[in-house]
Amino acid sequence: MSETIAQQLASRLNAALAKTDFAHDMPEGFSAQIDQAQNRQFGDYQSNAAMILAKQLKRNPREIATAIAGTFDGGEFSEKPEIAGPGFINFRLTTTALEERFKALLDDPALLGVAQVEVPQTIVTDFSAPNVAKPMHVGHIRGTIIGDCLVRMSRFIGNNVVSDNHIGDWGTQFGMIIWGWKNLLDKSAIEADPIPELLRIYREVNAKQKDDAELAEACREELVKLQGGDEENLAIWEKTIEVSKIGLQKIYDRLEIEFDYWLGESFYNSQLAPLVDELMAAGIAEESDGAICVFFPDDEKMADKPAIIRKSDGGFLYATTDLATIDYRIKQLKADAAWYVVGAPQQLHFDQIFEISRRRGQNADLQFIPFGSILGKDRKMLRTRSGDTVQLADVLDEAVERAYQIVDKKNPDFSEKEKRDIAEVIGIGSVKYAELSQFRMTDYIFDWDTMLALKGNTAPYLINAYVRTRAIFRKLGSDFEPGGAITLTADAEKDLVLKLAQFSETVPAALSDFRPNTLANYLYELATTYHKFWEACPVLKEEGAVRETRLALCELTGQVLRKGLGLLGIRTTEKM
């Protein structure tokens, strides 16, 4: 399928516009758009083209809508358009069109109607990016899960996506970590669970050195030795990164997230001094009070906010590293685009480095994809009772344990392994879906009861809808093989086919403005539509083409739910 339903209707609508008496008066390049109807009572799709043209042509919008409807040729695809309100044009698909679309979707189990990009791009996606020697906390949920979802969706439509975990593996904290490694390390603890032990020694040294000038100086000396290439300190630093990655990987494995690269800040160290020299030679950077800066006098937001790329003491900053990172991604990874999934407070930083990149003549499509915060029920930053940051591993553990309690209560006859496996799927999926069903810039409240509820816009509700699609085939005693007669006789069947067909419109829309919640909300609507079909249309009691059609609807709904949830990074289960 090369075109979605919306695209086919838009093509017919623009053909109708070309036949109207005002065609020659329309603005050059005008193209009417089609949207899914907000209220199915009035149709399947709608267009506000008449109202847009009415303003431009200074004519009555209903007159223009009527003229368009008069020249519109729906053929066997759609019924005669209807005019509503101030000039909306509403379209209803014919049963024939829905049946044909349904058959095409059944023949396309891999893509389910989603078109592939005509020219695949290489897109480097930068997300998660925790700091070495520190555990991932609840604040990492958003960037990690959103970034993974964008990678999955972009790969699905045919792009070459390179995922890069730009970890924080360099900086002043390593002076304290190295001193602590030499003087405070519990070797058995570092082998058993490395990140908590690294965090312990860092916190202990950090607290002590604030009131101990000799210790503070000793930590600075360890850092200088590291930066100077001291073999012992380099070995400790490398070991710190190694054990940190092992600890982080446990979290990523549980989330089923993979990275192509872990190119941390240290990877670019050798490139920073030449980069600063290049920026100065090009007249992009200049000296100011001993520091090297880039100024933005023509930008109102940044006119008084220069980007410092080398401090007066010769040290480099995040901006320097990120500019070197852009260089590497364009030159070595051949990136056409780079996406940065990072918290909203970093907006100014990325505005600066993107502008510097532009001045350097780099034309890769650089996108800053910000997100808001996760709050507790008190609408403040989510923390433990003791005031500490909530650890991500603890969130996942509790989600799975709470899911287990629900599964155990509802299905006491399941084996222990079945209960644990289902709880893992439901628990992890609930955390992911609670994130992805929100607009990424919205601050949302983290609420266990809401995210694990079996009703409402939640992962358990969607996974349960998938389980229900599979239950019919357990009763049938066999899997479904498409190819039989298809006939749509009930409104609930037609509603479900239309919603299934809209998967091909939803995935590109969710990706175009980096809104996974668009896909999440679609899946919720699909599950709701399927439940209505389930209540209205008996399946196994029917015979012939009606039975075949309804079995096919159950099968295709299961496929779309499984694929859609998979793009969100959420697994399904056959029982629940």
What average pLDDT does range 164-190 have in this prediction? 94
Residue 254 has pLDDT above 90, yes or no: yes
Q: Which residues contact 68 (CB under 8 A, 6 or more apart)?
A: 13, 16, 17, 20, 49, 50, 81, 89
pLDDT of residue 418: 96
- Residue 447 Cα distances to 18, 254, 376, 379, 458, angstroms: 53, 21, 8, 11, 12
Residue 547 clears pLDDT 70, i.e. is over it: yes
Average pLDDT on 98-120 reads 96
pLDDT digits (tens, 9 = 90+) for 191-248: 888 888 999 999 999 999 999 999 999 999 999 999 999 999 999 999 999 999 998 9
d(CA 569, CA 435): 11
pLDDT higher than threshold 80 for residue 387 = no
**Does the global pTM surpass 0.85?**
yes
Task: Specify the pLDDT at position 389.
Answer: 76
Q: Give which of 396, 462, 463 is closest to 431, Cα–Cα.
A: 396
| Residue-level pLDDT at 384 | 59
User: What pLDDT is stored for residue 479 in this prediction?
Assistant: 79
- In this predicted structure, the answer to whether residue 382 has a pLDDT above a threshold of 80 is no
Residue with tokens 């030499």: 182
Query: Exposure pattern of 150-169 as b/e (b: 16+ CB <10 Å)?
Result: bbbbbbbebbebbbbbbbbb
Start-end of H helices in 117-171: 140-156
Distance CA 37, CA 43 (A): 6
In whole angstroms, what is the distance from residue 52 CA to residue 17 CA?
A: 13
* Mean pLDDT on 270-289: 97
**Residue pair 392/135 in contact by the 8 Å Cβ criterion:** yes
- Taking Cα atoms as reference points, which of 467, 434, 436 lies closest to residue 561? 467
Closest of 383, 461, 459 to residue 427, by C-alpha: 459
What value does the mean pLDDT take over residues 480-500? Answer: 93
Q: How confident is the model at residue 386 (pLDDT cuts 50, 70, 90)?
A: low
Residue 248 carries which side chain, given as an amino acid letter? L
Check residue 477 and give its pLDDT: 85
263 Cβ partners below 8 Å, 6+ apart? Answer: 164, 165, 166, 325, 328
Spans of all domains in the chain: 5-93, 173-255, 392-567
Q: What is the mean pLDDT of residues 364-375?
A: 95
The sign of the dihedral angle between the CA atoms of 416, 421, 422, 424 is positive
Least confident of 30-44, 89-103, 139-153: 30-44
- Give 259-278 as a 3 state SS string: CCECCCHHHHHHHHHHHHHH
AA identity, residue 465: A
Two structure tokens written together for 368: 């800053």
- Cα–Cα nearest to 459, from 491, 417, 425: 425
Rg (CA), the chain: 28
Q: Is the pLDDT of residue 296 over 80?
A: yes
- What per-residue confidence (pLDDT) applies to 457? 96
Q: What are the φ/ψ torsions at residue 83 (nearest 5 degrees)?
A: -100, 135
pLDDT at residue 372 greater than cutoff 80? yes
**For the residues 120-128, what does the mean pLDDT come to?**
98
User: If you average pLDDT over residues 68-79, what whole number do you get?
Assistant: 96
Write down the pLDDT at residue 183.
Answer: 96
Mean pLDDT of 296-319: 94
In the chain, what percentage of residues exceed pLDDT 90?
88
CATH number of 392-567: 1.10.730.10
Block residue for tokens 């520091």: 291
State the CATH class of domain 5-93: alpha beta
Phi-psi region of 379 (alpha: psi -120 to 50; beta: other; left: phi over 0): left
Average pLDDT over residues 306-318: 94
Give me the pLDDT at residue 156, please. Answer: 98
Phi, psi (degrees; rounded to nearest 5) at 260: -75, -35
